[in-house]
Structure 1
Amino acid sequence: MKEALDVVLAEASVSHCSLTFIMDKTSSYFHEALRIHVPATKTGGDMVLDVAVAGSVGVNGTMTQVVAQARKCNHFGDEATPDCRKLARVFPPLLVHTQQMRLMSWCALVVVFSDYPTFLSVFAEMADEGRLMVWETKLLVITRLPLSSLEDLMQNYWTFSMMNTMFLKLNASSGENHCQIYAHMPYGPTGSHVAQLASLKSGHALGYLSDKTLFPEKYNNFHGMKVNLTWIPLTPGWMVIKRPGPNGTEVTTFGGREYWIMENIGSILNFSLNPLPYTGWDPVMKRLRTREAFLWPVTLPILPHMLELYDFGFFLERSTLAFTMAKPSTKSSWESLYRPLRIEVWGLIAVAVVVVYIVLMVMNAYGKDEVPGAWLVMKQVLGTLLDEAIPGELPLRSTTRVVLTTWLIFSFVVGTVYRSNLTACLTIPLYPSRIETFSGLVDANTKQGVFGDED
């Protein structure tokens, strides 16, 4: 076993990967496994977890904790929690030379030792439920079980059948081919099957069968298989197109960006799409959880509650959150009469007209000469503001002339500014300010629009 594991680790190119050993301590070769020496420079850190078999119930409870801690410690090794350090049993210099796991390790190898089908089946279920396994995580199961038991395990459990898993079967004899390496291939020319990848020959050399490799890629070629796909009819990502068919029938086809992306991927990986009937939002998620469907083309935001349901590997397509609004329309042309000046300026001009009118009326009332009437004074104030000639005779008193001259200067300045801005408003249309931020969208009290089919 020591020779086989050393050869597999060397051939599988797992340098700089973190290693996690999960051992059935009642196996006959458990203590032999502790004498395996893994150089510290070879891996990014190692951890040993042992689980005692005490009935199926006990195995379930213990295995759940082991899988959870293995996943946590693999991802946060440099900042391992006390629970991680407690569960990581160190046996220097026999097995583990260093316990420092790489922070957010991009590569991990889990090695499971057991001769009990129950132990392995529980591990497979707990690893699947606890999301210990992703495709970058390699799993090597070392066992002495017969090939028939291995075939049952590999065909009945997702962790063994669909993930990056190999079985290293040890034989009782120590001669030629004293151990074989198997993997379950879910897609092939004849369908799913268990394939022997290699065997260990005398002299500690791996003998490969055909073009097989260790930890083979299972999804480079689907060999024309149909892959179930779930979808949501959201235009323009996924569109249902109904066309008239032969004999008065109706043919349903699909289109849209998401469908075309999946179709192109299928042409490269040699599989065809089998879109399942759409029956609502909830069945879409359920089909993924139960693995009735394998694919769901959708733009999915990476939010905290999403991380509890999904493991994100890499981005196929990046998108940004945005909103669109109608182009602001210009105001009516008649509004250009007052838009050259702000409302506050118009208010101050009205106040100035009233003040000047009152001042002139008061000054005329205290004068000794014949004074113009109230209507004539009003025409003097408004007429000069509108660039009209002064009606009637000019006032004789010096103080009245000073006030009227000041008002003439004020009217000239205001009139010049107004005419200049009026020309600009009539020449260049002025659009209202656009909403550029989310806070501006909220302040505008904009109504929400939902597009797509709803139940």
Structure 2
Amino acid sequence: MTTFASDKTRCCIAMCKSRRLSSPMKFPSVRCVPLLFAVALLHMATSAIPRPLVANNDTHQEVAKVLQMTGFSSSDSHIIFTDGSNEDYQPLALELIMGKVFHGVALFNTKAGHTFNNTELNQLTSSALKVRIASLGVNILVLSDEITFLKEFAISSMQNRLLSDITKLVVIGHLNLEDIQVLASYWAVSIMNTLLMIPQKEGLHESMYGGSINISVLPYEPYWLEEKAEDGSVIYSGLDRLMLEAMMSTLNFSVSLLPVRTWDEVFQCVANRSSWVAPVIHFVLPPRLKATGFTWNYEIDANLAFVMVKPLLEAKWQSLYYPLKHEVWILILGILVIATWSLIGFIKVSWKKSVMPSKLGSDLIILEVFGTLLGQGLNSRLPVTFGVRTLLTSWLMFAFIIGIVYKGNLVASLVAPRYPPRPETLEELVRDVERVTMPPFGKAFQDVLIESEVESLKALGNMMQVGIDIEKGLKMTANYRYPHIDSLRFLQHQIAIHHTQADGSSMFYIGREGVMSSVYAWPIPHDAPFKENFDFVILALLEGGFYDKWIHNWLEDARRLGRQKNRQGLALDKLKQENSDENFSMITYGKSDDPKPLTIVHFQGPLLILGVGAYIAAMIFFTEYFELSWSYLKPRCTLWKKKGT
């Protein structure tokens, strides 16, 4: 490998194939063995995405510098071929001519979009041959991105003997590795003095020229998924897979997967440089930074989170008390007492005026007031004075409004009951649970947490049980209320796909506050020369909103798929079959069309009132019964005593 460098241009000439000739090719500025086929990388100030050369004030100077390095002399004759497939090449050729970089230039241009064939190119090469014969030294420059044109030119140039042993041929075009290998099979390229130049941006290797790189990865939903097709092939998908495909398309490379079995092997392959990248999300931790580098972080909101089963309703008798607040109950009780005593006073005044046909006792008046509060009708024996009517009208309106409000709130509290408090933050998690679980890759997290200076993080690391996968972790969460810790997106995917009912609800919930806040990125080897390329593509996807859109679409699709599976009765079937002999006490999801039934918990309040009332009524009944019996037996006992005396 021989390298030339200038301020804005760097040309790397790599010998791909060599063979000793009787008359070796000589480059004035290069001392090397006979060069039969070379590839040059021209770094130009072009756009971030690879595109053809654009003629500007400095382009012809940059091209001239490189051509002079390869032996082009301004005193020689120069023949330029363009195919019209790229509109930027013809202005470049005119720049080379009008800029007086070369003297004695012949330009041969074909029509844009025309089908290339030997007949047309034979005419061009025949005309160019006349220029070569009439000149002492000739250099040929071909500007084209079309592999078809280049192949036809290679054939036609040899048929018409356009290339001689001293003629230098330079081809400038955007070609991938496969196209270069095809051209290498032609005599004009592999044997004659030919140089291929691929335009590139200065300081950034935008194209990897169709090469293949090794990657190490394992399935991790929703970032990387593997599914087997009917023909046995493996189909890859996921958020990170989409980002990798964008990189492959932009940077022009392919990938080869290394066989790995554990996450430690995935990371170790990158650390020992057998893998170029692990294209799946990794938490950036200090120990990992010592082993590998990382790309630009692209997942900031997806922190490490925990999942738990929702707490069940506890048996409470206050279900009838919840619809109204304490001060409202006190206000109603006060108004009830005031209204009752006011009505008793009004009625007593009416008795004195003999308005009532018969008197009502205070106990009956109290029952009437309570009855109207509960929706019972009024007794027709109440007085008909205007004062009593006005008081009763005000009370009935108050009782009606209070009854409607109470019934509405009661229904709302039964439909959406108040659940017990549940852990939502890290501090609450450490306080309320005694153990947490995490997948096998959680060992690195546990080491970091134990060494933390934050007491809650240190306590979390001490109670962590590593090596529990998501399926087993959810079982332990349902049975023993042990939280399971994993990536937020991964937990959202698992719950949306496997544990979502048709109405969108789930028996699991994700804590409102994450366990650890950091960033996610792809591991790459330290000081990797392609880091700048990968970072550019990642930033372009983030700034364009593509990654956020992928996340939104994926979450909607996952939830919809979970609801469809539940409607078909397939949700959790596999999980139930595997745990049929393990007392896996999970809540059974009902059908989507079945209404949610009220449980005994909702009716504890009325049942308690009924039981207490029945007990008090029984005590009163037996008291009255014994009192009545005693009043019946007492005279007889007295009579018996008199007879005895």
**Which structure features the higher share of helix residues?**
2
TM-score (normalised: structure 2): 0.27
| Larger Rg, first or second structure (1 or 2) | 2
TM-score for the superposition, normalised by structure 1: 0.36
Greater RCO (Cα-Cα under 8 Å, separation 6 or more): 2
